[in-house]
Structure 1
């Protein structure tokens, strides 16, 4: 499958340079980073939440971290819950289940990204399947996400990472 058509078209329209990296099949962003031999702090993942009006929010954070939903509720002044697998499959229909690319705009979704991601020279993101990553240089990441809200969204990563 490789990169999703939605993400490819979005990056092309925005004239954002990127590279793709292939790796052995994985089941999570952490496994993708390990398979591609990428430091975990440089791998970003998307966590999709929704409020009680079915408005979706994509939280983008380092792969090894967990979203702090209490913090997100305070930041957004709403009561968020995780989107269901069915909702994700419907919304990201050009992606394999569980391989959501952390790009909100092309999927018409509001985004809130974690401050930790701005510290990376390169950031790696799921491309829409379980074998491909997108690599963006910091200036490219900031070009597409710099005007979107950001904050500290994470709990510390589990100790075994």
Structure 2
């Protein structure tokens, strides 16, 4: 079942999206492969603890976040990956690890990699390990208003 908040939000806005059902997958790269979506277009959601507050970082499935560079870009000396226990309750309608990149709906600032912002479409987990959504990147950016950063990824 998809994240109820995201589905209702997109439907209310009249935003077009495609639902992609896939076999159970637990990493973003596995989901991208299972859903037949490029790792450049499939967005993975990483939750970080930024100066004691949770934040959402969205980057291509094929990349890894370099925390030291994120610290420098945000001028925030205390940035680390958040633990599951820190963020699980923030996403009550999502399976852990399948959070959609809509920080605005969950009270989190959202930072997106510029390389994703350059893609015509974006695909992402829809709150479960068997369902993803695909939509126009422009529609995503308009709905979420993420801060686009030139993430240095590996």
Measured against the shorter chain, the TM-score band is over 0.9
My pick for the range that moved more, 101-110 or 86-95, is 86-95
Aligned equivalent of 1:4: 3
Q: 1:148, CA displacement in angstroms?
A: 2.8
Using the size of structure 1 for normalisation, the TM-score is 0.88
Match of 1:153 in 2: 151
Q: Which moved more, 1:117-126 or 1:7-16?
A: 7-16
CA deviation after TM superposition for structure 1 residue 57, in Å: 1.1
Corresponding residue number in structure 1 for 2:59: 61
TM-score, normalization by structure 2: 0.92
**123-132 or 87-96: which moved more?**
87-96
Q: 1:80: how far off?
A: 0.7
Contact preservation (8 Å) 1:125, 1:135? yes
Instruction: Note the C-alpha offset of 1:65.
Output: 0.4
Q: How big is the shift at 1:69?
A: 0.8
SS in 2 for 1:8: helix
**RMSD value, Cα:** 1.4
Structure 1: stretches of 5+ with no match in the other structure: 157-161
After TM superposition, which residue ranges in structure 1, 4 or more long, deviate above 3 angstroms? none
Size of the aligned set, in residue pairs, is 153
* Alignment match of 2:72 (pick from 71, 74, 83): 74
Cα deviations across residues 24-77 of structure 1 (Å, max 9, x unaligned)? 00011110011111111010011111134x311101100110011111111221
> Where does residue 159 of structure 1 map in the other structure?
none
Q: What is the deviation of 1:142?
A: 2.8
Unpaired runs of at least 5, structure 2: none
Residues 68-112 of structure 1, C-alpha deviation per residue, up to 9 Å, x if partnerless?
A: 111111122111111111122111111111111111100010011
